[in-house]
A and B are shown apart, each in its own frame.
Chain A
Amino acid sequence: MEVIHMIRYIGKRTILSLITLFIILFILFLMLNFMPGSPFNDTKMSHEQLKILYHEYGLDRPLAERFLIYVKQMLTGNLGVSYSLQTNATVTNMISHTLPISVQIGLQASVVGSLIGIVLGFVAALRKNSFFDSMATGISILGVSVPSFVLALCFSYIFSYKYNLFPLLYSSSEAFRSTILPTLSLCFFTLASIARYSRSEMIEVMEKDYIRLADAKGITRFQLVCRHIIRNAMIPIITVLAPLTVDLMAGSLVIEKAFSIPGMGSLYINAIQANDYNVVIGISFIYSLMFIGTMFFVDLLYGLIDPRIRIAKRGK
């Protein structure tokens, strides 16, 4: 029974996700169409030349037709070509060159940040109002309020310039070592917000009746924390963690600029500034895909942790 429900649920969610993606795509298309300017902003170009370019890329056709053509292309895995950033380079190619490094750094930052954050928050909650708690609170306030580029500059000054432990700028010959400082600078925000969140979540759970009852059974403190408190506190933490992770994976312009990483974040911003329609749509699409995918995954994960959510899925 369970398995059939699961498959049906996954099927339903997949279809819903596809429809969502389609709608996102359409809105993107519409909004880019209304943006001022064009991909070809060279003032030296004459009206005739522009017309030829427009015709060549099919930009002179009506919006609906362009949209249909784009969707048709997309179904074959073709996201179009870049108009101005790297003329005629395929968008798939551009993304596949920049996405992996952004995802790698983002994932690293997210794993490091959330692990340390959760541990920090949990220990702070267990020793509420102690010195450690105040320290953890201090770290979280700093982490949330100090912008990542400041951290990036501090880290590169200390670890690269002074002690020469890590490369100052990204270099493909030292790929992993070059990602460490960006990861550190990027993870702090996640670390801080997750620490604050898990502290308050855990304190809330510890006040619950079922924790009192479990405690009254006479189990050890360790068992109480592992079996009851953490499990119940994890559910809401996952909810905030998931979107944070996707945000990190899509690449941070600031960090990529600071360490000159050829990532997707900077590509995205450049494409928006240059009105490079296909690149913007392509990256936005990938971003949406990652977001919807992660939320989907998180929902499945919920079911594993919280039985009440499992039944909700079965409804109707």
Chain B
Amino acid sequence: MTHEDIILSINNLAISFKSFSGRVRALRGVTIDVVRGKTIAIVGESGSGKSVTVKTIMRILSKNEKIESGSIVFNNKRDNEIVPIDLLKLSNKHMQREIKGKKIAMIFQDPMTSLDPTMKIGKQILEAIFAHKKIKLKAAVEQVHQLLETVGIKNIKAVMNAYPYQLSGGMRQRIVIAIAISCEPDLLICDEPTTALDVTIQSKILDLIKKIQKARNLSVIFITHDLGVVSRIADQVYVMYAGKIVEYGTCNDIFYDPRHPYTWGLLESTPDMAYLQERLASIPGTPKRMIGDVKGDQFAERNRYALNIDFRMEPPFFKVNDHHFAATWLLHPKAPQIRIPESLRKRIDLMKEENRNG
């Protein structure tokens, strides 16, 4: 991929938090490339570091966070010229004035709590517009109207004069989206934007994000733990575990040819109407808290297929094909031939067939 194609590249980002029990290593060398105009999804369990990654991009982390190493390079397009900026090196002021809201915007997880309860909706959107645009109030109000129309809100006047508590969760998430796209950002970060919504609304909000992404040629980072959502929206998928990327590739790579045992576990534990199992599989155990120095593959303890070496050495990335990589010793030429679990194999075949038919 050429330099211009990539809008944001996170390189070897390591972050730790001070806590009473020691230094918690939240991110341990995360590398992610976001291609311009594409959607990447970061998936993983709670506590895997997905949110920390995007919050670091937006610089909205708590104060006990420490960036150990790495860079976040944003390739800013200005007058057809690409200017790379390391976001971690920017001053707070510069970040606030030039990047946040203007170049990179964010949609938050819980729409019920992400709007200021004491401010009218119209004013909250206007605030976002005025943060970066010097225009007259009348023109700004006109823009708010257009934005609300874009996000599919009907009675615009009434909504502008309403307070957040007067709107439903789905409506509020639409407002949050309107705020995010108000200054035409290049990159949109969605931090589990549908997790707090019920299923029917989830699907509508997903469609809306997809529509806006297409219409505005936005680049999107989409965080979720719901693989169903990923398959609908993502071009590229990064699977994250314990502060590291463990497997990444295109949507097809991850869904039809997963290689990492953790990805297998995630796929197996996704409920699927087409493939009814007697009992939904789950990954045993919970993610480890990484305090102090860590050794070996962090997933080893929960991994049915763990090899001896997994407990001693962290696996590097092995190449599956040009765009598909996985960090597991199982891909080492000398590793025993362990195949994908049978149940998952069947499921994938079923999915493939479905796709061929429909």
Contacts and interface: CB of A to CB of B under 8 A. Distances in A.
Interface of A: 128, 207-210, 212-221, 223, 227-228, 231-232, 305-308, 311
A231 B163 CA distance: 15
Contact of A218 (B63, B97, B108): B97
B116 A216 contact: no
A44 to B, nearest CB: 66
Interface string B163-183: 101100000000010010001
B117 A307 contact: yes
Contact of B114 (A210, A221, A232, A305): A210
Given A209-B108, A220-B96, A214 B116 contact: yes
A231 B127 CA distance: 16
Nearest to A128: B63
Interface of B: 58, 60, 62-63, 92, 96-97, 99-102, 105-106, 108-110, 113-119, 124, 127-128, 131-132, 163, 165-166, 176, 179, 183
Nearest to B100: A218
B105 A216 contact: yes
Contact of A212 (B99, B114, B132): B114
B116 A210 contact: yes
Contacts of B183: 218
B164 to A, nearest CB: 8
B99 A231 contact: no
Contacts of A223: 127
A135 B297 CA distance: 47
Nearest to B182: A217
A217 B110 CA distance: 17
B15 to A, nearest CB: 17
Contact of B118 (A128, A209, A217, A305): A305
A223 B127 CA distance: 10
Given A209-B108, A227-B119, A232-B116, A218 B99 contact: yes
Contacts of A128: 63
9 contacts: A209-B114, A212-B60, A213-B108, A213-B179, A216-B105, A227-B127, A228-B116, A306-B117, A306-B118
Contacts of A218: 96-97, 99-102, 128, 131-132, 183
